[in-house]
Amino acid sequence: MKIANFSHRQAAHCESGATASLINYAGTHLSEAMVFGIGAGLFFGYVPFIKVNGFPLVTYRCKPGAIFARVTKNLNCDVHQKRYRNQAQAMDDLDLKLDQGIAVGLQTSVFWLPYIPAAMRFHFNAHNLVVIGKDGDEYIISDPVAPDLVRCSAQDLSKARFARGALAPKGRSYYLTSVPAVKNLEEPIVAAIRSACRDMLAPIPIAGVRGMRLMARSVSGWETKYGKRRAGYCLAQLIRMQEEIGTGGAGFRFIYAAFLQEAAEYLAVSQLEELAEELTAIGDDWRDFALQATRCCKGHAECSYADLATMISSQADKEERFFRHLQQLTKKLG
């Protein structure tokens, strides 16, 4: 069986994509960018003392689960969320909900999902997807980052739901139990922009623009600290966090600019349009940074770690200016 009126749309990011899918399925149209924005998905964090696969943790987005939580809260929408101890129970519950015609969001690990391209299967435990049907032993899945519907065996899906390690999903499933109130988006939009500004300008050394500056300082010392080879691996990890699957380009800067553009139209505030343009330019510079970083880890002489550090601090300066403007604007919007 398969839920009939569920339309699969490919998204740039798994969590905003899955959330948008569930909201659209509930009967109200909201774009992925709008969901990402209202979920205040944009962020930056550099946490040198937490290691992911042995490398410092870098993130260009807020913590997993926060987009779904914020969007549903801001839209006054009731949700059902559950984690499980028992794998069989988790799969039985899923089947039951599908029988009732409910599309169910799941947190999974990409490592165990066979339809993900082999080279992208790392232990990343916060991949979101929506299950929309079952055919024999196979589940029919709307994976936000896949172009079309995909299929996955019950055994593999169960493994993916019960992956271990950092951010272990523990079978987490979620779905909407009421229709989201999207009639009046002004307030949620302004509140979410304010929250993103607050996070990006937070007086915490590892968060937001200050996190970028901290990263710039670390990067300049990587080559002497780790040696050429390992420093290269660190840079590669950074590039992957910024550009590999699910950011929409430039570490979510482009998708957030798309949100600001939509917000400008919705709120009829032309300054937001200008700020969207500014963020696009900042995003282009992040893309350029990724390109230079690739040259650097391949050992091309024209780009040094010091140059990269300068690029990152200049990004921090630009983003600081950008978010201060944005913050001032939201104050005027009341």
Partner 1 sequence: MHKKDVPQDSGVLENNQMVNYAVDGDGNYCLAATTGWEPVNAANRMAWEEIREQLFQVRQQVESGKLSSLAYYMTRAQMDAPLLASYAGLARWRVRRHLRPAIFAKLGSEQLQRYAELFGVFVEQLVRLPDNDELPVAEYPNPEDNK
128 binds partner 1 (CB under 8 A): no
Provide the minimum distance between the beta carbon of 261 and partner 1 in the complex, in angstroms, as a whole number: 5
Neighbours of 269 (CB within 10 A): 19
Of 163-192, binders to partner 1 (CB under 8 A) are: 164-165, 168
243 binds partner 1 (CB under 8 A): yes
Query: What CA–CA distance (Å, rounded) separates 223 from 1?
Result: 55
320 binds partner 1 (CB under 8 A): no
Cβ burial of 103 (10 Å; 0-12, 13-18, 19+) is buried
Query: What CA–CA distance (Å, rounded) separates 334 from 169?
Result: 38
Provide the minimum distance between the beta carbon of 122 and partner 1 in the complex, in angstroms, as a whole number: 6
Query: What CA–CA distance (Å, rounded) separates 294 from 303?
Result: 9
15 binds partner 1 (CB under 8 A): no
- Is the CB of 199 or the CB of 262 nearer to partner 1? 262
Give the dihedral sign, CA 194/197/201/205: positive
145 binds partner 1 (CB under 8 A): yes
- Is the CB of 187 or the CB of 277 nearer to partner 1? 277
Query: What is the Cα 275 distance to its own chain's centre?
Result: 21
**Which one of residues 26, 52, 95, 123 is an interface residue with partner 1 (CB under 8 A)?**
123
Query: What CA–CA distance (Å, rounded) separates 63 from 46?
Result: 13
Of 264-283, binders to partner 1 (CB under 8 A) are: 276-277, 280, 283
Window 41-70: contact mask with partner 1 (x via CB under 8 A): ------------x-----------------
- Is the CB of 223 or the CB of 243 nearer to partner 1? 243
Instruction: Please give the C-alpha separations between residue 117 and each of 64, 148, 157, 168, 334, in angstroms, as whole numbers.
Output: 22, 14, 16, 21, 46
Residue 246: name the closest of 78, 10, 77 by CA. 10
236 binds partner 1 (CB under 8 A): yes
Cβ burial of 51 (10 Å; 0-12, 13-18, 19+) is exposed
Q: Which two tokens stand for residue 205?
A: 């050394």
**Which one of residues 122, 153, 226, 266 is an interface residue with partner 1 (CB under 8 A)?**
122
Q: Please tell me the count of residues contacting partner 1 according to CB under 8 A.
A: 51
**Which one of residues 4, 118, 268, 301 is an interface residue with partner 1 (CB under 8 A)?**
118
Query: What CA–CA distance (Å, rounded) separates 203 from 246?
Result: 28
Provide the minimum distance between the beta carbon of 25 and partner 1 in the complex, in angstroms, as a whole number: 19
- Applying CB under 8 A, the span of 22-30, 81-89, 206-214, 236-244 interacting with partner 1 comes to 236-244
- Residues of this chain that interact with partner 1 (CB under 8 A) are 10-12, 33, 53, 111, 117-123, 145-147, 164-165, 168, 232-233, 235-237, 239-240, 243-246, 248-250, 254-255, 257-258, 261-262, 276-277, 280, 283-284, 287, 290-291, 293-294, 297-298
